[in-house]
Amino acid sequence: MIAEDETHLSEQLAAALTEAGYAVDRAADGERAEFFGQTESYDVVVLDLGLPKLDGLSVLRRWREAGLMVPVLVLTARGSWYEKVQGIDAGADDYLSKPFRMEELLARLRGLIRRSRQMPSSEMQSGPLAVDSRTGRVTVNGQPVRLTALEFRVLSYLMHHRGRAVSQGELAEHIYPIDAERDSNTIEVFIARLRRKLGAGVIDTVRGFGYRVGDGEPRR
């Protein structure tokens, strides 16, 4: 989620994150940001402190008091050490001063997501399948496989949760923004395409639950 009231910056961030393969929700004020954070499951949040209606620090404090530990990257005014300290005290995981380079923000977000899942690197492995969340590179037995942006989002989510069955509804919620129509039936289409490109045995169907990518451990 991007919680930013500067429309131009919010649009720039959303475009960059979408191009990098993320599904993005945007909130232009603190009340909406708090609501999204309480009702949706996010990999990471970009939070501006100067939000209208409810400031970013209050939003962050409320999330942490409610036990929400989603990684949060706080955006602060340039040179404002006081804002940085306040943000960290309120529970921020990282901060970035405006203006900033988009490449640095993307790198910071990838690092936060990796740390939140205790991943030492951006590459995830399941048998012959390897997925690099930083570069978007996908290989099977070392051979590159080309995926569309939505196919990559589905696969990346399954890889982040490998070893666990993920429902169609959960996948749909992850790959589509809040204001988009979420049709869980289309997930079947993406799974079928991925199986054709990656091989039939990479993604298992768990009857009554959803889909699962193996964690590499032998099953009993």
List, run by run, the mean pLDDT of 10-residue segments along the chain (220 residues).
Answer: 95 92 92 93 91 93 87 79 74 86 90 73 82 83 88 86 86 69 74 91 89 64
Class of the 2-116 domain?
A: alpha beta
| Sign of the torsion angle spanned by Cα atoms 82, 85, 89, 90 | positive
Q: What pLDDT was estimated at residue 217?
A: 47
Topology of the domain covering 123-213: Arc Repressor Mutant, subunit A (1.10.10)
Q: What pLDDT was estimated at residue 180?
A: 57
Range(s) within the chain of domains with CATH label 3.40.50.2300: 2-116
On whether the pTM is more than 0.75, the answer is no
Range(s) within the chain of domains with CATH label 1.10.10.10: 123-213
Q: What pLDDT was estimated at residue 147?
A: 87
Paired residues of 138 in beta bridges = 131
Residue with token string 């990471």: 44
Q: How far apart are CA 133 and CA 114, in angstroms?
A: 9
Q: Which among 10, 78, 76 has a CA at the least distance from the CA of 48?
A: 76
Is 212 in a helix, a strand, or coil? strand
Q: How far apart are CA 157 and CA 159, in angstroms?
A: 5
Q: What are phi and psi of 135, to 5 degrees?
A: -95, -15
